[in-house]
A = this chain, B = another copy of it.
Amino acid sequence: MAAISGVLAKEQLNIVSLREHVDKGENRFFIRIEVEQEAGAPALEQKLQQVLPPDAVITVNPLPEKKVVVMVTKEYHCLADILIRHYFKTLGAQVQCVIGNHSTLQDICRRFDIPFYLVSHEQVGKADFEQQITNLINKYSPDYIVLAKFMRILSPDFVAQFTGRIINIHHSFLPAFVGANPYRQAFERGVKLIGATAHFVTNELDEGPIIAQQIIPVTHSYTAADMMKAGKEIETSVLAKALRLVFEDRVVLYRNKTVVFE
């Protein structure tokens, strides 16, 4: 801390906000500092590197707008929320394109002048399907890929290409109800709360590092369909929150967890 703040003081960079986290179990120290002035990134990184241990991971981020590709299937709520925020310039990221495995959401993208690519999973093998998607993504080189209710499971090979860069919204309070039909599972179990989880995607299904979670109360009077309907509201809101946190560089990935400097 003394080393870092010494460098910042010397560079006359005023700290606007500072959040830190000591993980004793892992013996790691995490810190996020916002300074008032624009800092020359490479020079500052070098100066910090000189005063920190060799294995320190340093990122000086001038907060440029992130670029994102969004993947969808048929459900509109998360995508529409992203498109609206993007259109009104409050998303904090540029939506480069939308890839859907159904054409359902093509028209809403057209209305916002966002390119929509239909890549059907039907009548092609999984490898081909994912290759088409990879080609599209590579064309755009996004910082992040947002699975906004994309309902196909992606292969380990696909995920491995974009480690720590795929964000998914899962329609349950993980780790409860991993896998398919979580609302049906929740209904059968008779839970009194349902949830949604935004997380980074890794190769273990629904096991990636959690960014944000939220719940809403339900009662015995909710059918599985009612739960799904109610759940969409928090899916939208928890994904929006996770994206804001990620786009503002507030989320640090470490092993299978996140440090979230809200």
Tell me the A residues contacting B by CB distance below 8 Å: 1-3, 5-6, 8-9, 15-25, 76, 80-81, 84, 87-88, 108, 111-112, 173-177, 189-193, 195, 209-215, 219-221, 223, 233, 237, 240, 256-260, 262
Q: Which chain B residues border A211 with CB–CB below 8 Å? A: 192
Q: Which chain B residues border A256 with CB–CB below 8 Å? A: 189-190
CA distance A198 to B212 in the complex (A): 25
CA distance A259 to B240 in the complex (A): 28
Q: A1-B9, A258-B190 are in contact. Are A108 and B87 (CB under 8 A)?
A: yes
CA distance A165 to B222 in the complex (A): 25
Q: Which chain B residues border A214 with CB–CB below 8 Å? A: 193
Q: Which chain B residues border A18 with CB–CB below 8 Å? A: 1, 18, 20
Identical chains in the assembly: 4
Q: Is the CB of B237 within 8 A of A210?
A: no
CA distance A240 to B233 in the complex (A): 10
CA distance A220 to B24 in the complex (A): 12
Partner of A220, one of B175, B193, B195, B258: B258
Q: Which chain B residues border A111 with CB–CB below 8 Å? A: 111-112
Q: Which chain B residues border A262 with CB–CB below 8 Å? A: 219
Q: Is the CB of A192 within 8 A of B176?
A: no
Q: Is the CB of B177 within 8 A of A175?
A: yes
Q: Which chain B residues border A260 with CB–CB below 8 Å? A: 192, 219-220
CA distance A15 to B19 in the complex (A): 13
CA distance A161 to B236 in the complex (A): 37
Q: Which chain B residues border A220 with CB–CB below 8 Å? A: 21, 23, 257-260
Q: A2-B6, A9-B1 are in contact. Are A213 and B190 (CB under 8 A)?
A: no
